[in-house]
Structure 1
């Protein structure tokens, strides 16, 4: 029997955030997503790119990328000061290359708070929590406005898989719709690179995520 896929979070609560970070230490498939995103950053024709992560969370992806790309500069946005504190602890000495910015992605003025102009905007498992397709579309539009020509957006996020009979929370929707929204936002190229941990019949809230890439 089909059911509902979604999750409730308390990302301003210190105990909840620490427990969440402890439970979601990256698994091999999630590390593979980090590597896929890193590969796209390495393809940029910039020796020392500025990378912006939307929804920094505990900083696992930031640590993975910073350890493997010694010349890039990083900025992480999160609306939760608690998550920013956790990320600083996880990044340790690497945080000297990171700007930590507290901002709410549902506020369209979030690009005004950036410390530096990004060549790449990346995100994982974050934008679905904005709660609607329109909220994701707005972030895509602001990202396109913020990036230079040739800049990239890479979003690894939970999706609603084609063919499922389950209901999904509003922020989790089909890959095809993501690609439509990216094109509407002004990106010239948009594609899905991979669907990770696919599960149609008995999905959990931690399965079914895709790596979406768009070029301005």
Structure 2
């Protein structure tokens, strides 16, 4: 599956909700003075910049395959010392000898077979290095199952066959834990479901527009994409009812995420 096109403004529209898993993830990294920190799938760069605040003496490198995202990152943070943004493909990335921390937040679900990549990084990273990964675990949630069912309907099947991944997109937490333990790493793997309260009309559709719906919209013409969105949004209304609270339209949108953090033992 090719990489989807990205809209930095749309992606950051729910910045607080998208940022919280990153901080929950990186908060479990206990590296004190890393030489080089790499953020794979850095997107528009705001979260990568927070790593420069945490480790001001380190070289912080954000890597992304989207030039649009990198342009947004460089325009905001390119002047900061010790912070660089590099165009690169996660599939081909390999850690240099000075890389002590690798972070990948909500990116590896787009990479088929990323478990093999993680296994390679576990072997290649230097003793004492940290690896921290977060991937969405909500592929069985209504937001995704309804999208797949609509894409597989007679109206859309021809244009969208093979566009969406689901059961093979990510592993269960136990799978990631076994991968890290088998490599001899100290590992911590967990999952969290965030009960996010979104505001405004079409809130869930707007959320998914920034991420999971991107491959569908890339595969359709603008007119077809608008038609698909209209049909999909009607399904979302039934699955995620809105409630008006104090004059504000709100929608509760549960979102499951999977976290893995590990350290390679000294001498390993």
Give TM-score scaled by structure 1 length.
Answer: 0.71
Decide whether the 8 Å contact of 2:191 with 2:256 is kept in 1.
no
Q: Distance in 1 between matches of 2:16 and 2:184?
A: 29
Does 2:126 align with 1:140?
no
Q: How does 1:183-194 map to 2 (within 5 A)?
A: 183-184=181-182, 186-194=183-191
Cα deviation for residue 74 of structure 1 reads 0.7
Aligned Cα root-mean-square deviation (Å): 3.3
| 2:54 counterpart residue number | 68
Q: How does 1:120-131 map to 2 (within 5 A)?
A: 120-130=101-111
Q: Distance in 1 between matches of 2:72 and 2:168?
A: 28
Decide whether the 8 Å contact of 2:34 with 2:58 is kept in 1.
yes
Does 2:178 align with 1:173?
no
Cα deviation for residue 123 of structure 1 reads 0.9
Decide whether the 8 Å contact of 1:56 with 1:62 is kept in 2.
yes
Decide whether the 8 Å contact of 2:36 with 2:99 is kept in 1.
yes
Equivalent position to 1:79, from 65, 90, 97: 65
Cα deviation for residue 196 of structure 1 reads 4.0
Q: Distance in 2 between matches of 1:205 and 1:74?
A: 33
Q: Distance in 2 between matches of 1:206 and 1:81?
A: 31
Does 2:165 align with 1:117?
no
Decide whether the 8 Å contact of 1:137 with 1:182 is kept in 2.
no
| 2:8 counterpart residue number | 18
Q: Distance in 2 between matches of 1:23 and 1:32?
A: 14
Number of residue pairs matched by the alignment: 189
Decide whether the 8 Å contact of 2:78 with 2:85 is kept in 1.
no
Larger Rg: 2
Q: Distance in 2 between matches of 1:183 and 1:60?
A: 32
- Helix, strand or coil at the partner of 1:137: helix
Q: How does 1:202-213 map to 2 (within 5 A)?
A: 207-213=255-261
Q: Distance in 1 between matches of 2:43 and 2:133?
A: 14
Q: Distance in 2 between matches of 1:58 and 1:89?
A: 9
Give TM-score scaled by structure 2 length.
Answer: 0.59
Q: Distance in 2 between matches of 1:208 and 1:49?
A: 32
Does 2:20 align with 1:35?
no
Q: 5+ residue gaps in structure 1?
A: 1-7
Alignment deviations for residues 120-151 of structure 1 (CA, whole Å, 9 cap, x no partner): 11011000011x3xx21122023223311121
Aligned in 2, Cα 1:159/1:79: closer, same or farther, shift over 3 Å?
same
Aligned in 2, Cα 1:39/1:19: closer, same or farther, shift over 3 Å?
closer
Equivalent position to 1:150, from 128, 132, 151: 128
Q: 5+ residue gaps in structure 2?
A: 146-165, 197-238, 241-251
Decide whether the 8 Å contact of 1:57 with 1:87 is kept in 2.
yes
